[in-house]
Chain A
Amino acid sequence: MSGDVESTPTPPAPPAASRRTSGFAAPTTGVGDYLRQRWSAIKAGELGALPIIFGLIVIVLIFGTLEDQFLTARNFTNLLLQMAPVAALAMGIVFILLIADGEVVSIDLSVAFVAAVGGVVMTLLQRPGDPGWPWWLCIIGALVITTAIGLLHALIITKLGVPSFILTLAGFLVWSGVVLWLTTRFSTAGTIRIQDDRLVDIANNFLSEGIGWVIGVAVVVGYAFVQVRTMQARQARNLDAKPLPIVVAQVVGVAAIVLWAVWVANSDRGVPQITITLGVFLLVWTFVTTRTAFGRHIYAVGGSPEATRRAGINVDNIRIAVFAINGFMAGVGGVILASRLRSVATNTGGGNLLLNVIAAAVIGGTSLFGGSGRVVSALYGALVITAIQNGMDLLGLNSGIKFIITGVVLLLAVLVDSISKRRRAARGLT
């Protein structure tokens, strides 16, 4: 267990020797080997989180020099609050993008307004005395409605063969109409306030300093535990494992980022409660996509629906489940959106929310071509896109300029996706 990854002494020579002759590379032992492998993967178009790291550095440099307020603790916590609805919606969109198969783009253009429907439903249900449901039932009501909408979309797409692009374009109009109709029907002003404090707290409450630290440390310990356990299980079976120094470096890096974030947030109002909520969703969906057969099948559908079908998997059911998950996350995003603004109004879900959500998923590294991407890319992308918006707001830029810049950033992200896909394809042919 100690530091001797190099010389794994326990399994005697024969199995190791037979492995060598089998032609598989011996388990990676050196840091150099590992880094070289990663580097060749990057050159081959598997960029991982690199574009994001690069993007964040650029953002920090530009806005940090132009605007003193940008790199303050106050603005950092604001950023965590602002990115929450976008991140929640983008997690659902990641699922949708994953099942795109090559040429046919899989997309949900209605997601922002489905979220708004969720927010409106929750807000209507909590109105005191009319019907005045308890806060948690209001949330469940919103999630049930949006999940049902996702299922409805999925059934029309899979059973009637309507392309998701067209169906959700129709959904965009329909659900924005529903939002408009509901908000004007139940309020002459077109705005319905949330009066339940628990619901307002969802996106506006902060954790105490102590709890913030406890959660931060727990995240780091949990991450380290999973990494070390994985490494040990693989070494026990004599499979390729990350070298110990790499694991240590990763754990130290994650620890530094998480604890630094907690420290900065605590020097302002504390860690936002909603950040933890997002973290839980991140964990759950990452687990589903990477550790379950269902998640594996989602990627398979995005890689080759035909191969998936021949493997005996019901591709339509996977698609339906994915759209239901997206509907559910739209509901989550809607609840957060309504909670953050403490109300819903005729324009809830409008503006550039949809653009930001899709941009977040793509900027985070989820491929528009399907089959490639991670749930965490929703968070990365939401952070980048919100930081850009936030920085431009601080600079007081003209709305037109803001749209143009956001559009260009989205284009850049799609270009990175296209070019890295082409590189992957080129490598596949040789």
Chain B
Amino acid sequence: MTTADSSGAERSGDAPLLRCEGVSKSFGAVHALYKVDFEVRSGEVMALVGDNGAGKSTLIKGIVGIYPFDEGTTTFAGKRVKIHGPKDAAALGIEVVYQDLALADNLDVVGNMFLGREIVKLGVLDEVAMEHRAQQTLEGLKVTTLRSVRQTVAGLSGGQRQAVAVAKAVMWGDSKMIILDEPTAALGVAQTRQVLDLVGRLAHQGYAVVLISHNLHDIFEIADRITVLRLGQQVGVMNRRECTQQDVVHAITAGDMQFVPGMDEDTVAS
């Protein structure tokens, strides 16, 4: 259980950027997460998969401190950390791009990317500097489909909005890890392609990328490793090159669990 992936992935020598060990979270009697191990390295795309209710969202919310874990340890960049809220996570360099995007439709791309962190000179918004930096960031991510960064977000396609949300997350010099929650859920084929390419570029640029998705096809295209959750437990970490979609589906639906739901914790061999 220590190093989930001992089978020699490309970067097995690297220490993980983020590592959660034995984290649990209960809501009343429900074990949303039970002794889950999870890790992600810089420069890799770690997919997080599982059926509805498997605990994907709970794990992410625990990592960024929205619902802090009940037990277990979190290590970030080699140091034990306690994350109590999104601000702590942001301070460490963990950014989340949520499924529902968290963009304000009426603001333009620049306004959204700098929302809450505007560049201000003598109390006045420095629009020119912000626009310049927004363009640079989008160009760095090779986002080529935006006509202008002064468009309002309302007028963007789903893929473009996703790109803006990602660019917003990576624009901050100190961000190291990007968590994407179902980034392709509502997108068409071409849009999905764009977003997947973008995700690949993020990893290539050295970010640790966590990709939550239901779509195994997408995952097998860009993920380096896959962590499978089932009923709140981690049932496997697979190297994408060494497994098939069937293996993953099997793990999602019938993966071995160390703990049987409904049984008292004491009776479970740990």
Contacts and interface: CB of A to CB of B under 8 A. Distances in A.
Q: Note whether A and B form a binding pair.
A: yes
Interface of A: 22-25, 44, 233-234, 236-237, 239-240, 291-293, 296-297, 299-300, 302-304, 306-308, 310-313, 371-372, 424-425, 427-428, 430
Contacts of A296: 107, 111, 115, 118, 125
B150 A424 contact: no
Given A292-B125, A304-B103, 5 more contacts: A23-B143, A292-B124, A303-B106, A306-B102, A428-B154
Interface string B97-128: 01011111111000110011110100111001
B128 A307 contact: no
A24 B146 contact: yes
A307 B125 contact: no
Contacts of A427: 154-155
B155 A44 contact: yes
B132 interface: yes
9 contacts: A24-B138, A234-B128, A296-B115, A299-B107, A300-B104, A303-B107, A311-B117, A312-B116, A425-B154
Nearest to B98: A310
B106 A310 contact: no
A293 B120 contact: yes
Interface of chain B, helix or strand or loop or mixed?
loop
Interface in B168-227: none
Given A44-B155, A237-B131, A239-B131, A308 B104 contact: yes
B17 interface: no
Contacts of A22: 135, 138-139, 144
Contact of B145 (A23, A306, A313, A428): A23
Contacts of B241: none
B86 interface: yes
A223 B107 CA distance: 24
Interface in B49-104: 86-87, 90, 98, 100-104
Nearest to B118: A293
B148 interface: yes
A414 B132 CA distance: 37
Interface residues of B, number: 40
Nearest to B124: A291
Nearest to A98: B106
A425 B131 CA distance: 25
Given A233-B128, A292-B125, A303 B104 contact: yes
A33 B14 CA distance: 52
Give the residue among B128, B131, B144 with the most A Cβ atoms within 10 A: B128
Give the residue among A236, A303, A306, A312 with the most B Cβ atoms within 10 A: A303
A371 B105 contact: yes
A24 B146 CA distance: 6
Interface string B127-168: 010011001001100011111111000111100000000000
A304 B128 contact: no
Contacts of B111: 296, 299-300
B98 A23 contact: no
Nearest to B111: A296
Contact of A292 (B116, B123, B145): B123
